[in-house]
Structure 1
Amino acid sequence: MPRHSIQPTRSCRRLTLLNSSLSGYGWHSTLDTAFAPYAAEGLVPARIVRVYGDLCDAATASGPVRAGIAPITSSDPLKWVCTGDWAALDLGGDPFLVRALLPRSTAIVRNTSTRRSEGQVLAANVDHAVVAVSLAAELDLGRVERFLALAWESGAQPLVVLTKSDLVPDPALGHLLADTEAAAPGVQVLAVSAVTGEGLDVLAAILSGTTSVLLGQSGAGKSTLVNALLGEEPQQVRAIRDADGKGRHTTTTRDLLPLPGGGVLIDTPGLRGVGMWDAESGVAQVFAEIEELARECRFHDCAHTAEPGCAVLGALEDGTLPQRRWESYLKLLRENARIAARTDARLHAERRREWKRRAASGRASAEAKRGGRTPR
């Protein structure tokens, strides 16, 4: 493949239709300072559009390119190149190469659900984290709270979008909106329908000129929502099973897609598991009213179990604090603490292995010197 051409991937075909300036992809003046050292080295700025293996598609001021990312691959998954990253590209070789990443302003991170308890960055440098929830299935407020904890922790502004609102009659829709708003303090909740167009203009106005990421389970209607926002159909949409309202994955990679009104949207595959990853402050933000209640307890170290003057227990007793919400709060805190403990244990074990390796290497070197041999 010639080094000045790329294969016609879906993301890159879309890039060719845009203005060549990176401002359309979110570049702003504050990034100039961060990129200055790389510019001095002859590197060019780019935004990562899609990652697959050791290659990525990226947008530059002169157009789309494909580049290798192996040179900056790290053992830490949190430092891997991700969709939404701002990168410094070396266009002087064949292939082009990503030499460095600019510091991330925000990052959506989840636990990979592996035994190693590693974090995975789903999207970087995001302004809005849009949580898509399908109304074709029973509303799971606990899952909404889980997504919102990750969103708040990232530094992005969360937004909940209830999709397929045309499937729900008005009275029921009002109740679902109210229940979701109660589970999402400080977060705007929209009901939208790609069929009737309800709420799409409001959503498009919110996302305009920003970087947004779309999160949700498979079957949440994300691909249909992306198609409606883009005014075309770049995403394959499969039929939803009538029996349970669930769908299949229609997006297999995380793609950065330019919006007609300005700004970009990062579409993600349906997430089966959304594990906590160092999200204690995000959990506190989702359950702000519980954190506020805890500050009103008589004792500053109240465990909220049987202590006198416990404001949390009082709110549970009089119904001010729903039992479901309290249990969801405790569940996410326990999970986050468990993952943190496992991560600490893993890092400690890795450090011990490294110490042992270095000690063994030092002993071998010393023995070789004593024997007059050059250590291998």
Structure 2
Amino acid sequence: MIKTLKEWGFPQAYQNIFPDFIPARIIRAHRQKYEVASPAGLFQADLAGKLMFLADDPSELPQVGDWVAIQPLDDTHAYIMERYERRAVLSRAKVGGFGSEQVLAAHVDLAIIVQSMDQNYNLNRLERYLVQIRACEIQPAILLTKSDLCTPEELAQKLQEVQQIAGEARVLQYSLFQEDLNPILDLLPAAQTAVVVGSSGVGKSSLVNRLLGQEIMETSAISHSNQKGRHTTSHRELVQLSNGAFLIDTPGTREFGLSQSGEALEMTFEEIAELADSCKFRGCSHQHEPGCAVQEALEDGRLEWRRWESYQKLQREQEHFAMDKVNRRKKDKALGKMYRAIQGESRKRKGRS
């Protein structure tokens, strides 16, 4: 239950926007069924018809972390009447969505990228998370789990590799045998919200349980065949820690498609952006042009081929999503025009009859 709206991060600017309803925050969502916390208590909530039918896209529907205005029906049930304007939304390209986005969490201050240091360790995937999170204008942090499975030499090498691509993002390591959780808790001030993201089996839910001091998130044992955890979280959920901060656990993501553009790609690949500025020709494609600083750096080893290939792949994906988004809007506009024409013709027929 919310004791005060301020301690739950309710923005001051939202005061008195929906005076006829009670502010509440969505703590759990599953197929348009919600659990919300409010000063009046916890409620199982359904969407009011207006919200459900006026949404142009599923991403506009309330998600975990959203602030909403509710109307209680009784002591345990309520309707969600309005959704407050979002800030700091973590999203990704919807799988097969052709330019559509999936909102993972709203009102996020920090995104903790969890990557294990076993077979799941993947620098390309980490770069993908960093680009998308920065594009959403959310501060990233990196937590490397299962460090106990590495030799000291392997641990040192992987930490160095991650530090080189992390930029300003904090990098921490963690294992289930670690007793001191203060370095992680220091990332999470009271009333702020962090979302935990990462692939299946990297230990996200186990981490949340440790921080909570109790088994809230369901976890599974390590698979002996591949030494990977079986992720069992199937929905997103917001929980409050003892220090007053909030965590949103998310299901493991096989794909984390880019849905944003802007400067996030250049921020994550700063060395490539700096090299591109030194090319002889403006608009250099960095393929065959003379005086290309990128190609020169690749040849003499100052730029890793892995980094360059990862950058190119993410750049193409951003461009592809942007094109799909434009085409989808054109299609939606054409369908809307056709629908209005059909409605007009129907009214004419009724007028003649």
Fold shared per TM-score above 0.5: yes
Which of residues 91, 100, 118 in structure 2 aligns to 1:109?
A: 91
| Structure 1 contact 77–118 (Cα < 8 Å) conserved | no
Counterpart of 1:50?
Answer: 28
Which of residues 203, 216, 219 in structure 1 aligns to 2:184?
A: 203
Counterpart of 1:182?
Answer: 164
Residues 326-350 of structure 1, C-alpha deviation per residue, up to 9 Å, x if partnerless? 1001101111211221222222112
Q: One-letter code of the match for 1:228?
A: R
Q: One-letter code of the match for 1:51?
A: A
| Structure 1 contact 45–87 (Cα < 8 Å) conserved | yes
Structure 1 distance, partners of 2:65, 2:236, is 9
Corresponding residue pairs, total = 348
Counterpart of 2:13?
Answer: 33
Structure 1 distance, partners of 2:83, 2:264, is 25
The structural deviation recorded for 1:280 is 4.5
In structure 2, runs of 5+ residues without a counterpart are none
Which of residues 121, 125, 130 in structure 2 aligns to 1:143?
A: 125
Which of residues 294, 305, 308 in structure 2 aligns to 1:312?
A: 294
SS at match of 2:263: helix
Residues 274-297 of structure 1, C-alpha deviation per residue, up to 9 Å, x if partnerless? 111124533222112212221222
Structure 1 distance, partners of 2:3, 2:311, is 46
| Structure 1 contact 217–271 (Cα < 8 Å) conserved | yes
The structural deviation recorded for 1:248 is 2.1
The structural deviation recorded for 1:368 is 4.7
In structure 1, runs of 5+ residues without a counterpart are 1-14
Task: Kindly indicate whether residue 228 of structure 2 is the aligned counterpart of residue 250 of structure 1.
Answer: no
TM-score relative to the length of structure 1 = 0.87
Counterpart of 1:3?
Answer: none
Counterpart of 2:329?
Answer: 347
| Structure 1 contact 280–336 (Cα < 8 Å) conserved | no
Residues 175-227 of structure 1, C-alpha deviation per residue, up to 9 Å, x if partnerless? 101101112222111111122336x2201111132210000011011111111
Moved more, 89-98 or 143-152: 89-98
SS at match of 1:136: coil
Structure 1 distance, partners of 2:13, 2:4, is 18
Counterpart of 1:335?
Answer: 317
SS at match of 2:45: strand
Compared with structure 1, are the counterparts of its residues 338 and 23 closer, same or farther at alpha carbon in structure 2 (3 Å cutoff)?
A: same
The structural deviation recorded for 1:251 is 0.9
Counterpart of 1:134?
Answer: 116
Moved more, 85-94 or 72-81: 85-94
Extract structure 1 runs of 4+ deviating beyond 4 A: 92-95
Task: Kindly indicate whether residue 146 of structure 2 is the aligned counterpart of residue 164 of structure 1.
Answer: yes
Counterpart of 1:20?
Answer: 3
The structural deviation recorded for 1:240 is 1.5
Structure 1 distance, partners of 2:218, 2:340, is 52
SS at match of 1:284: helix
Structure 1 distance, partners of 2:230, 2:261, is 28
Q: Structure 1 vs Structure 2: percent identity of aligned residues?
A: 35
Moved more, 269-278 or 337-346: 337-346
Moved more, 60-69 or 216-225: 60-69
| Structure 2 contact 48–81 (Cα < 8 Å) conserved | no
Task: Kindly indicate whether residue 246 of structure 2 is the aligned counterpart of residue 264 of structure 1.
Answer: yes
The structural deviation recorded for 1:132 is 0.4
The structural deviation recorded for 1:230 is 1.0
RMSD: 1.9
Moved more, 73-82 or 277-286: 277-286
| Structure 1 contact 20–63 (Cα < 8 Å) conserved | no
